[in-house]
Chain A
Amino acid sequence: MQLWQNIPLFLIVCPLMCAVVCSVLKGKAARGVMAALSALVCVGMGLVLFFSARMGESYAYPMGAIGAPYGNELRVGITEGIVGLAFSLVIFLSVLGGWRKLKADVPENKIHLYAAMVCLLTSAMSAMTFTNDLFTSYVFIEISTIAACALISATNKGRTLYGAARYMLMNLLGSGLFLLGVSMLYCLTGHLLFPQIEEHVKMLLSSRQYLTPLSLSFVLMTLGIAIKSALYPFHTWLPNAYASTTVASSALLSSLISKMYIFLLIKIFFRSAGAQLFAEGIGDFLFMFAVVGIVMGSVDAIREHHLSRMVAYSSVAQIGYIFLGISLGTEAGMAAALFHILAHSAAKSMLFLASGKLREVSEKGDGFRNVRGAGFRAPLAGAAFAVGACSLIGVPLLGGFASKIFLAQAGIELGGWRMAVVLGALAVSTVLNVIYMLRTTLTLYRPSGRQEMVKSPLRKDVCFTVAILALIALNVFLGVAGGQVMEWIHRGIALFV
């Protein structure tokens, strides 16, 4: 085994150790460790992607002397590299962009614990990206759930605590359902690693034995992950959790945590023969949920009158897109879903960072009435919001446009009634997106006549400026080089399954 192939191991273990160290450090040092770690993880993920692309095939990394099927195992390839790199970049930029606000929002004597949580979240992200084992995924789901809850409640205000409590209840329900599904699948196959599970599920499917518990286990896992990633009817925990906490947390939550679970779901479907079960009907259910979510999430966003809550509701619609891609059950659909994970992560973290800044320069919170003209008071944040909004609407040259194209292509490739529904949903939701995103952007640039009243505290916030510029660049890159990225994803998927 070559030396670089050990990098994923370090990407999981080092953040764990950093988290433990952070928990005993003083606030300032802990924050330093957190930032350094998230930058390092970016570099590590980049190296993994580079080397695995050069090697041109994926490899399994046994965790211990005895590998599969008796011990744990990681699996590393191009897809994992791309997703991991995107996630780690988002972590780094979110932390960087929310740096100033973090100091203000989280009490000084608690900030080292916040840093520890971010480190643990990083570790869970790497582990869930690379793991090839169903139960390991569950363990790290657990870690990321609790970490997310802590990140939400770190600001310790009435409304945030309420949001965090709701988040906790719904997400524990999701974890519980997922665990039930895993244990049922283990009962049937006797394995926890994806390749072995796939083998046995195929066997069971061909012999038509235990069909009910088998499909139920996949349904339970899907349901659990749908709840945890806020697919439409299970999204009620989302707005309060995302909108009320500190900026760095909401950027992390919206663009990272739900997406990690979805990547896991993709693994479950395409690595453990879930896709074949899918063809027997579960897929259609998910498809319907996704379509309803795309429309209803946007409708909810239109009805909202607060900036960050509106951005949170638009996440519901975007999650719908990702599930739509997965539920098509084809390779093109999965690639489109993966691309949308990247595009949405980049756009949503930027939108949250920007809306946090816009709220900061406006008096009395972020109701639409208050943020009027905020685009003039915080020019960079306003520009970033406009770019993010355009990306979500699907303006060409931005990430959202490319992902909508790919989704439409995947739908057309499939043909039949699904094609009609996919295209219809995309069209309807684009119109709805325009309604709420454009209205908000116009509000931001509507002169309120009191630009002079609030001086922008933005000028010296170097971290925020750097993070926002990087995110804008990332969005444009995803839009311009969408085809190139997609080619990489396709190469990865060929090795992934």
Chain B
Amino acid sequence: MKTKKNDPFQHLKDWIENGDSALEVEMQDELDDTESQPLPKEPAGPQKKLFVLDKKNVLKRLNIWYAVAAFAVCLALIGVLVYAAAQLPKFGGADTLVDSEVTAFYVENTMEETGAVNIVTGIILDYRGFDTLGESHVLFIAVCTVLLLLSIHGEKDEEQKLKADAYDRHFEPHHDEVLQCCARLLTPLVLIFGLYIIANGHLSPGGGFSGGAILGAGLILYQNAFGYKKTERFFTFRTFKLVSLCALLFYSLAKGYHFFTGANHIPNGISAGHVGNILSAGLLLPLNFVVGCVVACTMYALYTMFRRGEF
């Protein structure tokens, strides 16, 4: 390998110029570095250098063609897609060929059958509840993957923790009066608004996903203004695990019960209630709450993981 470089993009440049093998060699070097082994230095004779230069030039020329080809393929794909999209039946047109049997059924029956005034909620949590069960686990799996990659919780290496803390101090504002004042004012409002959206999910536009995102944003705002210590008084890693566990287990159990009873034609004992009330629409309200909890926790966890790697 050549001498140590400071250019942060050197990896990328090397990779572009020399393909995968260069990056792998580079990575191997880095691994060696951490184990503090001296790099073996290659003698760089003039003849060898000439050869490298030549090869590089050839590769560079190839590289340009590669970029041009990629660009052309992209353009072609865009062209084909736009052409096909222009031929699709017009959205919402009266003379479209699309069979609107399903849509008509939803519009006519959702309110009666599920008790949801907001038809979208009725569809995603009831008729197509299986998809939404999957979707909420997509969030869970995303946060698990981030934990797997970035979490330093339970790490034995104390040095790494100290390093992460030191790094994090760049981002931790100390008593930023303006921010704290605003946060004190805004956080309760944001949280209440989030809860409102979740609770009214079956009545007005909104629901667990959007409300949960707002809740998460409120948590992040509070955390930004007041730091980890104050947030830890009410939201720690344990809280996160507990809330996610209960929420997702409840979701799976409730939907499992719903599917089971529905498929076997057993009366499930859940009534739609008085349409339009907050406490109505059977399972939809608790499910919205559960989804909201999961989304809020996920948002906050993703934020802390990318920032410090720990709650």
Contacts and interface: CB of A to CB of B under 8 A. Distances in A.
A20 B245 contact: yes
Nearest to A160: B27
Given A159-B24, A190-B102, A210-B87, A9 B263 contact: yes
Interface string A123-153: 1000100000101100110110011011001
Interface stretch (A42-50, A69-77, A379-387, A442-450): A69-77
A457 B61 CA distance: 50
A305 to B, nearest CB: 12
A484 interface: no
B259 A64 contact: yes
A273 interface: no
Interface string B139-154: 0111011011101011
A117 B141 contact: yes
Contacts of B137: 16, 19, 120, 123, 143
B149 A153 contact: yes
A117 B113 CA distance: 36
Q: Is the interface of A mostly helix, strand, loop or mixed?
A: helix
A247 B258 CA distance: 39
A153 B148 contact: yes
A190 B89 CA distance: 11
B151 A13 contact: no
A143 B85 contact: no
B66 interface: no
Interface in B139-177: 140-142, 144-145, 147-149, 151, 153-156
B133 A16 contact: yes
Most buried by B among A64, A135, A159: A64
Contacts of B145: 117, 146-147, 149-150, 153
Given A70-B102, A71-B130, A120-B141, 18 more contacts: A13-B133, A16-B137, A21-B249, A24-B245, A62-B263, A66-B113, A67-B263, A69-B102, A70-B105, A72-B127, A72-B130, A135-B131, A139-B138, A147-B145, A149-B145, A153-B149, A212-B84, A216-B80
User: What are the nearest 8 A-B pairs in CB distance?
Assistant: A109-B154, A65-B262, A139-B134, A158-B27, A72-B130, A64-B262, A150-B145, A190-B98
Interface of B: 20, 23-24, 27-28, 30-31, 80-81, 83-85, 87-89, 91, 97-103, 105-106, 113, 126-131, 133-135, 137-138, 140-142, 144-145, 147-149, 151, 153-156, 241-242, 244-245, 248-249, 252-253, 255-256, 258-265, 268
17 contacts: A17-B252, A20-B249, A24-B242, A64-B127, A66-B113, A72-B129, A114-B148, A143-B141, A146-B142, A147-B145, A149-B145, A150-B145, A153-B149, A159-B28, A162-B23, A190-B99, A191-B102
